[in-house]
Amino acid sequence: MTPQLEILLIASVVAVACSIVGTFLVLRRVSLMSDAVSHSILLGIVLAFFVVKKLSSPFLILGAAAIGVVTVVLTELLIRTKKIKEDASIGLVFPLLFSIGIILITQFAENVHIDLDAVLLGELAFAPFHRFVIGGVDVGPHALWVMGIILLVNLVFLLLFYKELKLATFDAGLAVALGFSPTIIHYSLMTLVSITAVGAFDAVGSILVVALMITPPATAYLLTHKLNRMLLLGALTGVLSAVLGYGLAHLFDASIAGAMALVTGILFLLALLLSPSRGLVAQAVQHRTKKIRFACEMLVVHLLDHEGKPEEAVESRIDNCMHHMGWTERFTKKTVRESVSKAWITERKARLSLTSLGRETAKHVMIRT
């Protein structure tokens, strides 16, 4: 495998692992816990490093993930004092833990081989240099193995507890009534978030972890309202972001993690604008269609109202309709054109008259209202 392919593979595995847990963060409205956890695990990594002295040890991942869970516990302890609101509690805990982590790194820099820049940016470009060797045989990049195992853990958890997760996410009250503890599910999820964040941290840095956990699931959320499709679309969007982001970074010789985060955002923006059912463009088109249809309906009702009466000669004139309805000239022209093309009215010498279809429509509209 070429290094490029290995980088893409690692990034894709990270993307899928992140979007699985991220989907539930987004749906449970605790997205920013990913931000909190992905920062505070830095302290966990440093502390665990002091103990095991090896950055690649699996104990380091578990130790660091424990700090992620501690972040969640501390945040909830603060909330439970009832002196501090939820959002402020999140914002108090993780900056402190992150700061302590940074201070430890800078004060014991000789002992800890963690580069401060790498904390945020990640070193995806160097990931292929770090090989995993068993009995003298090179079996691939270390990060790929670590993230592969974490992805597997996430997948197994998702498949085993799919129903429970779904229930606890969408109807916590029913989950309690049926005997599932939302607390256990919440903490299991947070543990997975922490483990995933630690594994990904080494490869891609803390900010890309947040971007990959939140943005692709949010993009998928714009496109579907079914949980299984959201999970699938989220994973696909994540992988697509990884691949396109790598291409972008390669093209400009810039930060890979930064480019990938950027692409997750671009894809989100595209979905926001172009989602077929709820996109902003679709919404605007729908709004326009409805507006013009309503205007056409009002026009035929107006014509029917005065049909066969003495004032018809005046009331059926286009300029009169325009003043009557308070429309602009442009909008009036459009409405008339639209009504003619619907065969509701005919136009002759700036006068409008109903067709039989138009008469039917007007009566129908009046019954409806």
Partner 1 sequence: MLDYTLLLVLSGCLVLGAVAGTLGSFAVLRKQSLLGDAISHAALPGVAIAFLLTFSKHPAVLLLGALATGWVGTLFILLITRTTRIKHDTAMGIVLSVFFGLGLFLLTLIQRLPTASKAGLDKFLFGNASTLLRQDLQVMLALGGLTLLFVLLFWKEFKLLAFDPDFLHSLGRNTLTLDVFLTTLLVVAIVIGLQAVGVVLMSALVIAPAVAARQWTDHLGRMVALAAFFGGLGGVLGAVASSSLTNLPTGPAIVVIISLMFLASLLFSPHRGLAKDWIRQRKHRKEIHANQVLVALFMLSKSHGSRYYRHSLTSLQAVTPGSAEAGLEALKKRGLVSGSASGWKLTPKGAQEAEQAAKHIYGEAP
Binding site for partner 1 (CB under 8 A): 26, 29-32, 34-35, 39, 81, 83-85, 87-88, 90-92, 95-96, 98-100, 102-103, 106-107, 109, 116-117, 120-121, 207-208, 210-211, 213-215, 218, 221-222, 248-249, 252-255, 257-262, 264-265, 268, 272, 278, 280, 283
CB of 219 to partner 1, least distance (A): 9
DSSP class per residue in 283-342: HHHHHHHHHHHHHHHHHHHHHHHHTTSTTHHHHTBHHHHHHHHT--HHHHHHHHHHHHHT
CB of 72 to partner 1, least distance (A): 15
Residue number with CB closer to partner 1 (2 or 81): 81
Residue number with CB closer to partner 1 (10 or 248): 248
> Which H or E run includes 155?
helix 142-160
351 φ, ψ (degrees, to nearest 5): -115, 145
CB of 18 to partner 1, least distance (A): 11
Residue number with CB closer to partner 1 (38 or 361): 38
Residue number with CB closer to partner 1 (4 or 181): 4
CB of 97 to partner 1, least distance (A): 9
Burial (0-12, 13-18, 19+ Cβ within 10 Å), 43: buried
Residue number with CB closer to partner 1 (215 or 316): 215
CB of 215 to partner 1, least distance (A): 5
Radius of gyration of the chain (CA): 30
Which residue is listed with tokens 């109807």? 171
CA distance 361 to 115: 72
CB of 31 to partner 1, least distance (A): 4
Retrieve residue 351's tokens.
């006068």
Which residue is listed with tokens 């008469």? 359
Residue number with CB closer to partner 1 (155 or 280): 280
Residue number with CB closer to partner 1 (278 or 306): 278
Retrieve residue 232's tokens.
């699938």
Residue number with CB closer to partner 1 (126 or 331): 126
CA distance 349 to 225: 52
Find the length of the chain: 369
CB of 238 to partner 1, least distance (A): 13
CA distance 283 to 273: 9
Residue number with CB closer to partner 1 (7 or 210): 210
CB of 336 to partner 1, least distance (A): 32
Give Cα separations from 11 to 16, 88, 131, 156, 212 (angstroms): 9, 32, 16, 20, 10
Residue number with CB closer to partner 1 (60 or 211): 211
Burial (0-12, 13-18, 19+ Cβ within 10 Å), 210: buried
CB of 118 to partner 1, least distance (A): 12
Which residue is listed with tokens 């891609």? 204
CB of 35 to partner 1, least distance (A): 6
Q: Which residues neighbour 208 within 8 Å (Cβ) at sequence distance 6 or greater?
A: 14, 122, 200, 257, 258, 260, 261
Nearest to 45 by CA among 226, 203, 186: 203
What's the distance, CA 250 to chain centroid? Answer: 25
